[in-house]
Chain A
Amino acid sequence: MIRVNDIVVSFGIGGGQEHTVLKKLSLVVERGQTVSIIGSNGAGKSTLLNAVAGTVPVRAGKIFLDNADVTAMPEWQRALYVGRVRQDPLAGTAGDMTVLDNLALAARKGPRRFRLATPPKFAREMEGKVAQLGMGLEQRLKENVSRLSGGQRQALTLLMAVLSRPSVLLLDEHTAALDPANAEMVGGLTRKFIAEFELTALIVTHDMKRALEQANRVVMMHEGEIIADLLGAEKEKMDVAGLVRLFKRARGAEYAEDRDLLS
């Protein structure tokens, strides 16, 4: 479960270039819910995910994950609740380490011990998990991750993000850097893992069709605010054309305001 209460996020504080990106934003995501987040560039979608994960601090407001107040927790501590995949396929894995070592790092969250990281039993278990990706990576567990293609690396990052069964999964345009075939494949794996691990997920995407298909709720953001929140029957009735219309209306209101100011 994710509960975001009236959070304010600003950049450039004290530098004279202060810029408030999220203006008292609130959002509650129930356990097991998958939410698509769409919106224009610069709307603050990534910033919202960064605030939840603890990558950027909030100026005001509170963030709860599974009813725990994590607002003051550093990112590494919040990672106990959070699995993440970003747009950049290089971001989530250690390229100069093997596939198996990367999986060992991600299999469990929290402090490490002086214990063999990849005993044979673990390797066998991971072979099965990696086989689910359907890319033949189970044959390449001892290869360095830097040798994988972007699509393979992103699929591995996704598996690493869900492996420890985090309570929250945050995906930020995680298929945007991939070619269409790989994007389709990673998108399919995303749905499969969310169902299998019963995850609560926030998925940022600019693909409206996929946003509607993959989630049971669609949130639209514009200039740091949530301008539409579609759920249940409302969401089921919605199509891409409808989303575009909603979006234009939001932008239109802004143009209208500009005209009012000018006249």
Chain B
Amino acid sequence: MIEGILVEGLIYSILALGVFVSFRVLDFPDLTVEGSFPAGAAAGAMVASALNLSPNHFAKALAVPAGMLAGFFAGGVAGFATAAVYHRLKVPALLAGIVTMTGFYSINLRILGGKPNLPLIVNNPMLNLARTFTGGLLPPDLSLLVACALVVLLIFGVLVLFFHTEIGIAMGALGDNENAVIQAGIQPGNLRTWGIMLANALPGLSGAMAAAYQGFADVNLGQGVVAAGLATVMLGELVVRSQFISVQLLRVILGSIIFRALMYAARSWGYIAGITPNDLRLLTALLIIASVAVSRYGRKRR
């Protein structure tokens, strides 16, 4: 149980990190994630399944990592589409995201070969990879957890480094005050495009991992992920206050684990309060409202 929550929390924290980049760093309310997350799942499943069928052991071993890379790029492409619509047509961010998200539903179906879902052939390929990785020294659940933790740690480290580089600082300033970025002689549109691509590449990667974890990709995997990501980001902000980007990124991961734990609790023991799995979306919405309300109240009190 606890391993399940942690693994899910870690996998979906990568999605939430993308939501953090768009909503918080870039101040760009991006709904593309509803398309880029399943795009990552679809591309990841397709690549992983193809490599899984390969007789070459090396290719087989690389099936899931290659799928994750494919998911990362698929998400980035979705982000690029949104950025292009936003900058070329000068439409609001929300509309640009809706356009991409809608278009990607069909694109994702095409990636999945016209079917609404695609199994990854081998049962739980993620687990198989994780076990090869830890050399069978750890029990299966634990080795999966270790593998996910390593991936998240790597992404966290790279993001912390990135946001301390010149480009990262400029990206942070862009969401804060675009004029300050323009005064620095930086083309704001290009910078925002890279940012939006990153904000969707991460969910793409997350989608590929989720598909590998559950053993199949589904075209409807994206439904509600923006809200889930936002709830995660806000939960983290509620728990830890900080102006430091490293802590802000870390609390997203923490928020993701808390969010998954809450969802797990609602699924397992919600029946006591009459909560069914159908109510989980409502719960997510209430969680967002509660987070906003509490942080408003807290800010006033300070």
Task: Say if the beta carbon of A227 comes within 8 Å of chain B.
Answer: no
| Contact between chains at A113 and B165 (CB < 8 Å) | yes
Decide yes or no: A109 and B185 within 8 Å by CB, A114-B165, A117-B168 being known contacts: yes
CB of B179 within 8 A of CB of A92, answer yes
Give every chain A residue within 8 A of B173 (Cβ-Cβ).
Answer: 94, 97, 101-102, 105
Size of the chain A interface, CB-CB below 8 angstroms: 37
Given B164, B170, B177, B182, which contacts A112 in the complex, CB threshold below 8 Å? B170
Which chain A residues in 88-131 approach chain B with CB under 8 Å?
Answer: 90-98, 101-102, 104-106, 108-118
**With A and B bound together, what is the CA distance between A72 and B279 in angstroms?**
56
| B side interface size, CB within 8 A | 23
Measured between beta carbons, the chain A residues less than 8 angstroms from B270 are none
Bound CA span A90–B176, Å: 11
Residue B56 CB within 8 A of the other chain: no
Given A76-B188, A80-B185, is A101 in contact with B165 using a C-beta cutoff of 8 Å?
Answer: no
Distance (Å) between the CB of A243 and the closest chain B CB?
31
Give the docked Cα–Cα distance between A93 and B179 (Å): 8
Q: Are A93 and B185 in contact (CB under 8 A)?
A: no
User: Which residue of chain A is the closest to B172 with respect to CB atoms?
Assistant: A97
| CB < 8 Å neighbour of B177 from A75, A93, A108 | A93
**Chain B residue with minimal CB distance to A110?**
B185
Residue pair B185, A84 in contact (C-beta under 8 Å)? no
Please encode chain A, from 58 to 96, with 1 for each CB lying within 8 Å of some chain B CB and 0 for all others.
Answer: 000000000000000011110110111000001111111
Q: How far is A76 from B174 in the complex, measured between Cα atoms in Å?
A: 13
* Bound Cα distance A84, B177 (Å): 15
* A20 in contact (CB, < 8 A): no
- Inter-chain contact A105/B170, CB cutoff 8 Å: yes
Question: What string of 1s and 0s marks CB contacts (under 8 Å) between B67-98 and chain A?
Answer: 00000000000000000000000000000000
Residues of B103-146 at the interface with A, using a CB-CB cut-off of 8 Å, are none
- Residues of B whose CB lies within 8 Å of any CB of A are 162, 164-170, 172-173, 176-177, 179-188, 243
Closest 3 A-B residue pairs measured CB to CB?
A: A109-B185, A112-B166, A94-B176
Extra 20 A-B pairs, beta carbons < 8 Å, given A79-B185, A111-B187, A116-B164: A76-B182, A77-B185, A77-B187, A79-B184, A80-B185, A93-B180, A94-B177, A94-B180, A101-B172, A101-B173, A104-B169, A105-B181, A110-B186, A112-B165, A112-B169, A113-B165, A114-B166, A117-B164, A118-B164, A118-B169
29 pairs of residues in contact across A and B, judged by CB atoms under 8 Å: A76-B181, A76-B185, A76-B186, A80-B185, A83-B183, A91-B177, A92-B179, A92-B183, A95-B177, A96-B172, A97-B172, A97-B173, A97-B176, A101-B169, A101-B173, A102-B173, A109-B185, A110-B185, A112-B169, A113-B166, A113-B167, A114-B167, A115-B165, A116-B164, A117-B166, A117-B168, A118-B164, A118-B169, A160-B183
- On A, residues with C-beta under 8 Å from B are 74-77, 79-80, 82-84, 90-98, 101-102, 104-106, 108-118, 144, 160-161
